[in-house]
Amino acid sequence: MKKIVIIATMVLIIGACSTEQNDGPIDITPDELHASVDKVTEIMVHDIFSPPVASRIFAYPNIAAYEIVARYNDEYRSLVGQVRDLTPIPEADSTKAINYELAALVAHMEMNKRLIFSEDRMEALRDSLYGIYESKNPTLFKASKDYGLEVADHIGEWMNKDNYAQTRTMPKFTVDADDPTRWQPTPPAYMDGIEPHWNKIRPFVIDSAQQFKPAPPPEFSMEEGSDFYKELKEVYDVSQRITAEGDSSEELQIAQFWDCNPYVSVTRGHLMFATKKITPGAHWMGITKIAAKNTDSDFGRTLYAYTKASIAMADAFISCWDEKYRSNLIRPETLINQHIDDSWQPVLQTPPFPEYTSGHSVVSGAAAVALTDIFGDNFAFDDDTEVPFGLPIRSFDSFNQAADEAAISRMYGGIHYRVAIEVGVEQGRDLGEFVVDNLDMKVENDLADNR
């Protein structure tokens, strides 16, 4: 009889311990959010998404997660009424306990999964985290997960109306080979122009793709005294100098650091293959992560930073691509090979789309404005974003300094005229200021006001 009592007592004790172990809190840290962003970046490199498409992939998951946090955290304001056509997310079941940061993370990972090709790679991260959370509190985990998926469905319906699907069926860009001013496909792959209809994607904050239409490039002329020819010759002369200097050239190092071209084709004999790199938007997401970590930002502030930066960059790509296919300007590589040096090659491989304005310049300008608004000017940081790709850390005194370097890197790389860079940075900064001025996301002052 004693044995039965002892065994029964032990069962009760074990059962009680088991209940305690499975009824505790689930703590979500910014590291899990960083992991989700890092994973989708890794997958985009693997799947080879273009820079404009990558900006869309970053924006929607951040918005889905942010809307949950904004609904249940009084420090943040919803984007409803601020971002085009967004409607309020569903309310959570008030009868159930929900961890809203967990729900936000679930929505983030689910939206990521819907936007990429290699879903199994995102599922691997998701399932590993789910196992941890479920073991801590199955009931809380399920309610939080269900709500996160419900919000993902809501944001997914909104996302699917942004005209992206329609642009997949629109005609390819037609090259005008008889017009010497117009863009031509460039070696070695001679790819078609990517995303010629990106200006038809629904913007997030800007009024239209044309709102920040820049001044046109200089009038095309191959006469040696003309402004356009001087622009072309500068690209050639700078390239000749820095390649002669070799690895010791600071300009060469800058060009390589900011390459961020997912379309680099490599030829080996009869074989051609692609080397895989992050996009410019992914680089700035990496800088956002660095800033959040350096300031010990909590989950909400980290998500806020990712969301504001990704919205600014998504609209910047829409604005920039609108101009690219309007001006349809020929790349330096084509003209230098035709008129100056037929054996010349740029330091960086020329991306497959028209020249004006510089995408790096527009997007970096917009991102820098958004991050400065959050973290302040003169925010010094060490940028280790490119270390996984074999490039060293570079240090900056501010986001704007980094943006200026990202922009000029395109001339050092031999793929943009100076005017496309300088006008592009201005275009991006003007757009970034508009986004910042029209997004009222935070109730309290940003770190920028307290530095």
What average pLDDT does this structure show over 407-431? Answer: 98
CATH 1.10.606.20 intervals, the chain: 175-449
CA–CA distance, 134 with 139 (Å, rounded to integer): 8
CA–CA distance, 90 with 254 (Å, rounded to integer): 46
Q: What is the pLDDT of residues 224-267, one digit of tens each?
A: 999 999 999 999 999 999 999 999 999 999 999 999 998 786 65
Compute and round to an integer the Cα radius of gyration of the chain.
Answer: 25
Q: What is the pLDDT of residues 266-297, one digit of tens each?
A: 655 545 555 678 999 999 999 999 999 999 99
Quickly state the pLDDT bin for 183 (edges 50, 70, 90): very high
- H or E, element range at 37: helix 30-47
138 — phi, psi (to 5°)? -60, -40
Question: By CB neighbour count within 10 A (0-12 exposed, 13-18 middle, 19+ buried), where does 247 fall?
Answer: exposed
160 and 85 in contact (C-beta within 8 Å)? no
Smallest CA-to-CA distance from 347 within 240, 274, 260 is with: 240
Q: What is the pLDDT of residues 379-398, one digit of tens each?
A: 999 999 999 999 999 999 99
CA–CA distance, 365 with 357 (Å, rounded to integer): 12
Q: What is the pLDDT of residues 321-380, one digit of tens each?
A: 999 999 999 999 999 999 999 999 999 999 999 999 999 999 999 999 999 999 999 999
Please report the pLDDT score of residue 24 as a whole number. Answer: 87
pLDDT at 1 over 60: no
Angle of helix 100-115 versus helix 30-47 axis, rounded to 10 = 0
Fold of 175-449: Vanadium-containing Chloroperoxidase; domain 2 (1.10.606)
Residue type for 254, please? I
Please report the pLDDT score of residue 266 as a whole number. Answer: 60
- Find the length of the chain: 451
Q: Is the pTM of this model over 0.75?
A: yes
Q: How far is CA 73 from CA 70, 104, 210, 395, 422, in A?
A: 5, 12, 35, 34, 40
CA–CA distance, 40 with 119 (Å, rounded to integer): 10
